[in-house]
Structure 1
Amino acid sequence: MTDKIVIYQKPTCSKCRATLSLLKESGEEFESINYYETPLTVGKLRELIQKLNLPVRDILRKDEPAAHNLSAASDDEIIKAMVENPDLIQRPIVVSGNRAKLCRPPETVMDFLK
């Protein structure tokens, strides 16, 4: 793989920790970004969503209490809410070049590395 691998994650998330372990075991070099310490901007989150090729609502953690009042929100409002409250973002997100994958379950990162 020639493009740099980046994982956007939350250290206390079990799926993120499992994905990080799989990345380490793969031997691939990667950068880990804790998006609680390095917050995502609206522009960066839009870029990730475009690379994921998923609707905005598919990366919204709908079980989070803060998501309950977003049922009638526009995509722009949801993105703004996710930037303001990162708990609303599905994770982990692994990126390489113009590709990205929401690694739920964590094992999907292995297909992404191929």
Structure 2
Amino acid sequence: MITIYHNPRCSKSRACLQLLQQALDEVEVINYLQEPIAIDLLRHFAKHLGMKAIIRDNEAIYKELQLANAEDETLLQAIISHPQLLQRPIVVLGERMIVARPPEKVMELING
């Protein structure tokens, strides 16, 4: 089954979810703003995608917390405390995963 870590307020995340639902019968949707993501899963994302790929460095809280030169573990803790810092959508299929930006990128994961 494919899983999308989704922010319903994000237009890119909504577009990606729509593509997934059109292409597949079953999609697991995790609204990470309501269901906190475990630190181990965030570490897994960072290992496979890179820390830079999974953190939204354009968010105001990123600048407020002065995270530009922070170590990875500090960034992960910041995402736990402020889930809006997680880049979205992250889509996982087995051991493969992507940040689906643009949303159409998810088709590479499905077809690949």
> Is TM-score (shorter-chain normalized) higher than 0.5?
yes
TM-score of the superposed pair, with normalisation by structure 1: 0.90
- How many residues end up aligned between the 2 structures? 109
Question: Contact 2:42–2:76 (CA<8 Å) still a contact in 1?
Answer: yes
CA deviation vs aligned residue, 1:6-43 (integer Å, no higher than 9, x gap): 00011111011000110111034210000011111211
Question: Contact 1:56–1:75 (CA<8 Å) still a contact in 2?
Answer: yes
> What displacement does 1:63 show?
0.8
Which of 8, 11, 16 in structure 2 is aligned with 1:11?
8
**Unaligned segments of structure 2, at least 5 residues:** none
- Look up the match of 1:33: 30
> What displacement does 1:72 show?
1.6
- Look up the match of 1:57: 52
The amino acid across from 1:37 in the alignment is Q
RMSD of Structure 2 on Structure 1 (CA): 1.1
Question: Contact 1:57–1:75 (CA<8 Å) still a contact in 2?
Answer: no
**1:70 partner SS:** coil
**1:101 partner SS:** strand
> What displacement does 1:48 show?
2.3
